C-alpha cells in the first residue's frame, strides 16, 4: 500500500529528499507543495510552516513532521489531536548548535568581543584570562540540544550547570529543575545559554527579573526563541554594565529590523538564526527512518507531547 508524503519547502531540499526517499522507500509517493494531484491521499506532511486551511484540504493527514528542532511555529493548539506532531532529531542540527555555543562561550570567555571593540580605537590593552574551570556555563534547557551543548562545553574544561523543567541527571553537570531552583541556577551562571523550548511559561522569561539574578558581569547566548527575550530589559542591563555581552541568534521579528538598537550596541552580537541549520543529508535519513516506522506502525522518534509543547 502506497504512503503519500507532502513536502513544503525549497526546491533544492525537495530534490535531495525526493531522491533519498525514492531509493530507500520506493513504496512512498512524494509530492512537492503546491503540486498535489489528490490532497485527500496525503497522510504525512513535512514542513516548517503549515499551508493555510490544511485541515480542510488534507482530510486524511496523520502526521506532521517539522523540519526544525522546534515546533512552536506550527501553533500546536490549532493542530487536531488525531494528528501526530514530530520534531526533527537531526544529528546535523545537534552538531551545529553545539559548535555555535562552544564558539561563543569561548569568544566571551577569552574577551574576543572586547578586543574587537578595542580595535576600533586602536587600544592595546591585554585582559587577564580566567581559567576555564572557574567560568560557570549555565545551560538553560537540558533537552536533546541542551545536553549535547553541555557535553561540548564540559570537554572544553568549563564548569557546567543545567536547568530543566523536570529533574534530570547528567554526569559532571550540576543539575537544577523547576521554578523553585531557577534563582539558584541563575546565581551560579556566568554565561547563560538559553535552549528552553518556547511555551507559554517561557515566553518573555529572559526579562529584567531573571537576568538580574545572574552575577554582575555575566553574559547570555540566546539560541532558543526570540519571543523568550525582552530586548528592552536586556539593553537596560547592558547599558548599566550589569551584563557584559549578549549573543543573539533568534528574534521575535525576523529579520531583525534595521532600526532596532540591538544592531548598534557594541556589546551585542547579532546572527541571522543560523546557530543550527537542518542538514539535508542527515535530516533526510532521519525522515526516511521515521516514515519507515510509520509504515511499520512503530512509535515515531521525536513525537511531541502536546501537554508540554515539545
Cα atoms in the Cβ-side hemisphere of radius 13 Å centred on 310? 21
| Rounded CA separation 178/168 (Å) | 11
Cis peptide before 255 (omega within 30 of 0): yes
Q: Examine the residue annotation and report whether 87 is marked as an active-site residue of this protein.
A: no
Active-site pick, 4, 136, 144, 225: 225
Report the side by side order of strands in the sheet with 159-164: 173-177, 159-164, 136-140, 191-194, 218-222, 243-248, 268-270
Cβ–Cβ under 8 Å, residues 234 and 212: no
Active-site pick, 273, 293, 297, 306: 273
User: Residue 132 is inside which H or E element, if any?
Assistant: none
Cα atoms in the Cβ-side hemisphere of radius 13 Å centred on 228? 25
- Quickly count: other Cβ atoms within 10 Å of residue 143's Cβ: 18
Distances (CA, A) of 103 to 25, 96, 97: 38, 11, 10
In the numeric block, the cell 512552536 is attached to 72
- Quickly count: other Cβ atoms within 10 Å of residue 162's Cβ: 25
Q: Nearest 5°: CA angle at 30, between 70 and 2?
A: 110
Cβ–Cβ under 8 Å, residues 217 and 136: no
Q: Nearest 5°: CA angle at 224, between 48 and 206?
A: 135
Q: Examine the residue annotation and report whether 13 is marked as an active-site residue of this protein.
A: no
Residue numbers annotated as active site = 225, 273
Amino acid at each position: 500500500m502506497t504512503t503519500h508524503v507532502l513536502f513544503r519547502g525549497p526546491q533544492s531540499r525537495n530534490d535531495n529528499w525526493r531522491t533519498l526517499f525514492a531509493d530507500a522507500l520506493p513504496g512512498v509517493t512524494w509530492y512537492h507543495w503546491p503540486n498535489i494531484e489528490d490532497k485527500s491521499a496525503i497522510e504525512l506532511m513535512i514542513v516548517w510552516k503549515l499551508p493555510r486551511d490544511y485541515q480542510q484540504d488534507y482530510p486524511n493527514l496523520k502526521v506532521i513532521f517539522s523540519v526544525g528542532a522546534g515546533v512552536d511555529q506550527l501553533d500546536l493548539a490549532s493542530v487536531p489531536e488525531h494528528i501526530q506532531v514530530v520534531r526533527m532529531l537531526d544529528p546535523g542540527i545537534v552538531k551545529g548548535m553545539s559548535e555555535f555555543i562552544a564558539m561563543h562561550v569561548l569568544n566571551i570567555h577569552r574577551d574576543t568581543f572586547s578586543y574587537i571593540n578595542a580595535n576600533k580605537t586602536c587600544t592595546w590593552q591585554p585582559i587577564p584570562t580566567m581559567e576555564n574551570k572557574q567560568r560557570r556555563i549555565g545551560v538553560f534547557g537540558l533537552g536533546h540540544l541542551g545536553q549535547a551543548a553541555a557535553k561540548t562545553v564540559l570537554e572544553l574544561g568549563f564548569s557546567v550547570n543545567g536547568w530543566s523543567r523536570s529533574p534530570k541527571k547528567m554526569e559532571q553537570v550540576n543539575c537544577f529543575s523547576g521554578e523553585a531552583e531557577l534563582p539558584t541556577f541563575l546565581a551560579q551562571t556566568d554565561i547563560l545559554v538559553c535552549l528552553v523550548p518556547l511555551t507559554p511559561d517561557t515566553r518573555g522569561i529572559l526579562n529584567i527579573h531573571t537576568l538580574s539574578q545572574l552575577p554582575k558581569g555575566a553574559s547570555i547566548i540566546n539560541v532558543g526563541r526570540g519571543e523568550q527575550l525582552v530586548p528592552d530589559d536586556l539593553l537596560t542591563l547592558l547599558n548599566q554594565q550589569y551584563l557584559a555581552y549578549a549573543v543573539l541568534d533568534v528574534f521575535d521579528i525576523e529579520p531583525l529590523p534595521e532600526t532596532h538598537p540591538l544592531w548598534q550596541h557594541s556589546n551585542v552580537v547579532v546572527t541571522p538564526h543560523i546557530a543550527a541549520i537542518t542538514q539535508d543529508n542527515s535530516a533526510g535519513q532521519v525522515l526516511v527512518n521515521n516514515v519507515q516506522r510509520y509504515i511499520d506502525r512503530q512509535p515515531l522518534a521525536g513525537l511531541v507531547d502536546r501537554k508540554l509543547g515539545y
